[in-house]
Amino acid sequence: MLNLERLRTLDAVARHGSVSGAADVSQQLSKLEREVGQQLLAKNGRGVRLTDAGLLLAEHAARILSQVQMAQADIEAQRGQVVGQVRVAGFPTAARGLFPAALAALREGHPDLRVRTTELEPENGVRAVLRGDADLALVLDWSNKRAPVPGGLERAHLLDDSADVALPAGHPLAGREAVDLVDFADEEWVSWPEGEFCHDWLMFTLRSQGIEPRIGHLAGEHHTQLALVAAGLGVCVTPRLGRPVPEGVVFVPVRQQVRRHIYATWRADAGRRPSVRAVVGALRAAAEPLGS
């Protein structure tokens, strides 16, 4: 008997092209290789690729998992009720800015629905949906750097979220009504960790303005980034959604607006589930007054 969770892992690797994002992925695939008696992964430079056997099994896994999702969707649709459990992943600012209102509305409107949430960065949220570890994930891209949608996923736009430059209160430009990114060509920047989509976006955006970024500090949480700014250790780009407002920091808009696009994403074969549609609707309602 093939293990369904291991097939989910293989399917996620086939769709996303990576075995990263979960500590037990390699272990799960090793067990699956023992189950089928064939090698499913082979080294490919610094990464891995699926062998012919792996590709063949991945095709079957996609069909099996799609049938499981459709069966669940059909059962829920036949009942026509918003019940059961939905697992939702969101990156920290979206979780802070959208989850409370959306979850409160769902609890009031659909008391038989259980929503479990967890914080995951967008890339990991996509992997969780592909693996079947999450039913929905909140993801993002930027107006000048779009993120592709992996095959088999659908998404719904929730809001556009403007970003400002965060400056120490005593900075010479703190009193401006608006700034240009080139105004900070000689500044040190506080950025997201290397390898994250938002870090890559910042590097791309600054270089497109002719600025070679001087990155002084890396921090994943906006609270940490802004604490460093308040201490006079650099400047950063900070989106407005779920943004803390610490003392000693001033936010100044960018003349050529910098925006994040925030989406909910889910497997296409789960789109008929009333519970999934209800969660997307609640997230849209929570996002409506926040768009900028």
Q: Which two tokens stand for residue 135?
A: 């039913």
Q: Which of 10-19, 74-83, 144-153 has the lowest mean pLDDT?
A: 74-83
Distance CA 123, CA 201 (A): 14
SS3 28: helix
Per the listing, tokens 């008696």 go with 37
Phi, psi values for residue 29, rounded to 5°: -70, -35
Q: Residue 24: what pLDDT?
A: 66
Strand pairing of 249-267 and 136-142? antiparallel
Q: What is the dihedral of CA 146, 133, 281, 289, to 10 degrees?
A: -60
- Is 10's pLDDT higher than 90? no
Q: pLDDT-based confidence at 132, cuts 50/70/90?
A: confident
Report the range of poorest mean pLDDT among 27-31, 93-97, 209-213, 227-231. 27-31
**Looking at residue 79, what is its pLDDT?**
65
- Residue 73 backbone dihedrals phi, psi, to 5 degrees: -65, -40
Contacts 24+ apart (CB under 8 A), 174-180: 174/250, 174/252, 176/252, 177/252, 177/253, 178/252, 178/253, 178/254, 178/255, 179/252, 179/253, 179/254, 179/255, 180/209, 180/254, 180/255, 180/256
| CA-based nearest residue to 193, from 229, 221, 161, 235 | 221
Residue keyed to tokens 């100044």 = 252
The C-alpha atoms of residue 241 and residue 50 are separated, in whole angstroms, by: 39
Q: What is the CA radius of gyration of the chain?
A: 21
Say what the pLDDT of residue 20 is: 52
Rounded to an integer, the average pLDDT of 93-97 is 91
Q: Which one of 18-27, 239-248, 258-267 scores highest in mean pLDDT?
A: 258-267
Alpha-carbon span 235 to 211, nearest angstrom: 14
Per-residue pLDDT tens digits for 249-278: 999 999 888 899 999 999 887 878 888 999
Which residue spans within the chain are E strands per DSSP?
41-44, 47-50, 84-90, 113-119, 136-142, 153-168, 188-191, 214-218, 236-239, 249-267
pTM of the shown model: 0.72
Residue 78 is predicted with a pLDDT of 58
Tell me which residue of 85, 95, 94 sits closest to 116, measured CA to CA.
85
- pLDDT tens figures, 138-181: 999 998 888 888 888 999 999 999 999 999 999 999 989 999 99
Closest by CA to 135, choosing from 68, 82, 88, is: 88
Question: Quick check: 48 pLDDT over 70?
Answer: yes
Residue 14 is predicted with a pLDDT of: 82
229-240 CB burial, b ≥16 within 10 A, e <16? bbeeebbbbbbb
User: Is the confidence at residue 104, as pLDDT, over 50?
Assistant: yes
